């Protein structure tokens, strides 16, 4: 039974909407989307005519609540989302298995199971960090897979790098695709394929942001009207002496996580920042603007993020690159 993209999707942990963009480009429409942060939901809604984003603690979300917000019985054809991944990150030194963020994966599974029991959900896409595959989390990962299978889905696991699909960023992600056992019992999802390591020649930092004018510094912003070219083309004021010492921050050089200078003619390292860890522009004179980071994530040029500078940095860091999302959506449509 072919998947009908016009049927609604449910998006959990939607953030600013990076994962959703790719599915929307393939013809899907999101019926309901949820995130716990107001600024993320504001970004999600201001970029869509269908303002279906809602602020909600996913742990408290029920099928009845979905129906109430949708205005009718909500029967999504698919569920997409990436639960917060910090608890599974390789860089996270917190080794406690009780990390509350880890439990959100099972919340995702439970809601999927309830919806599927009421009306068949054709597929789901679960995105997360590859750290979930590591030894520290292998039992958790095994339990997650069993839970998905118990919810009525055949499970397919892949590791994909956004760089291989036209994103100017080296970002490797864990992708789990589930297909409904009752509908697609003989279908095996094959992940998107690359040619010679890339689907196209890798997109570089220069390709993505090389023609942009200089952004405005945070300290110079008195109102939103001061931010020219694009509403998100602003960055932190460069205060460290490193920005003012000749050739200290040269292309490709790193000083810990806080000062990592990009190279013009390569893709960016993973766009995942703390407030003081935004990558340094290849010029070495400042950090990237939010808009530059958005373009390195593969966001459309006209997309806009709401919130203050810190909130925007968090939104872009946590987003799924839309080009990666789109090839996953396309593969699901073609294979079902």
The predicted structure's pLDDT at residue 197:
47
pLDDT for 186:
93
Alpha carbons 158 and 152: distance in angstroms, whole number: 19
pLDDT at 6: 74
Give the DSSP letter string of 178-204.
EEETTT-TT----PPP-BTTBSSSPPP
Name the phi and psi angles at 73, rounded to 5.
-65, 125
Are 172 and 130 in contact by the 8 Å Cβ rule? The answer is yes
Query: Are 102 and 147 spatial neighbours (Cβ–Cβ below 8 Å)?
Result: no
Does residue 94 surpass a pLDDT of 60? no
- 250 three-class SS: coil
* Predicted local confidence at residue 95, as pLDDT: 47
Q: What residues does each domain of the chain span?
A: 8-198+321-335, 205-318
Average pLDDT over residues 128-138: 89
Q: What are 272-308's pLDDT values in tens digits?
A: 998 779 999 999 999 999 999 999 999 999 999 999 9
- Write down the pLDDT at residue 92: 45
Residue 182 to residues 73, 189, 232, 238, Cα–Cα distance (Å): 22, 15, 45, 57
Domain 205-318 has CATH 3.40.440.10: no
Q: How far apart are CA 280 and CA 293, in angstroms?
A: 11
137 pLDDT band, cuts 50/70/90, is confident
Q: In which band, very low, low, confident or very high, does the pLDDT at 93 lie, cut at 50, 70 and 90?
A: very low
Give the span between the Cα atoms of 83 and 106, in whole angstroms: 9
What's the pLDDT tens digit per position in 36-68? 999 999 999 999 999 999 999 999 999 999 999
Domain 8-198+321-335, architecture per CATH: 3-Layer(aba) Sandwich (3.40)
């Amino acid at each position: 039974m072919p998947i009908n993209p016009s049927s609604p999707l449910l998006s959990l942990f939607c953030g600013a909407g990076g994962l959703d963009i790719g599915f929307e480009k393939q013809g899907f429409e999101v019926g309901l989307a949820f995130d716990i942060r107001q600024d993320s939901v504001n970004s999600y809604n201001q970029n869509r005519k269908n303002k279906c984003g809602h602020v909600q603690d996913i742990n408290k979300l029920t099928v009845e609540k979905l129906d109430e917000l949708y205005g009718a019985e909500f029967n999504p054809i698919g569920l997409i989302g990436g639960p917060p991944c910090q608890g599974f990150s390789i860089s996270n030194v917190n080794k406690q298995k009780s990390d509350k963020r880890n439990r959100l994966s099972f919340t995702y599974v439970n809601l999927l199971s309830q919806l599927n029991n009421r009306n068949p959900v054709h597929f789901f896409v679960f995105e997360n960090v590859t750290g979930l595959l590591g030894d520290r989390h292998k039992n958790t990962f095994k339990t997650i897979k069993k839970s998905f299978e118990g919810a009525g889905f055949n499970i397919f696991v892949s590791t994909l790098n956004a760089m291989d699909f036209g994103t100017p960023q080296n970002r490797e992600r864990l992708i789990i695709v589930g297909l409904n056992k009752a509908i697609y019992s003989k279908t095996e999802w094959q992940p998107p394929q690359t040619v010679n390591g890339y689907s196209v020649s890798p997109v570089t930092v220069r390709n993505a942001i090389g023609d942009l004018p200089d952004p405005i510094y945070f300290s110079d912003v008195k109102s939103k009207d001061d931010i020219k070219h694009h509403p998100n083309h602003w960055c932190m004021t460069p205060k460290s002496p490193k920005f003012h010492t000749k050739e200290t921050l040269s292309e490709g050089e790193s000083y810990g996580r806080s000062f990592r200078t990009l190279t013009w003619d390569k893709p960016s390292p993973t766009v995942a920042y703390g407030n003081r860890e935004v990558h340094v522009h290849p010029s070495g004179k400042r950090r990237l603007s939010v808009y530059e980071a958005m373009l390195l994530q593969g966001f459309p040029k006209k997309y806009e993020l709401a919130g203050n500078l810190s909130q925007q940095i968090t939104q872009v860091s946590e987003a799924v690159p839309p080009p990666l999302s789109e090839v996953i959506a396309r593969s699901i449509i073609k294979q079902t």
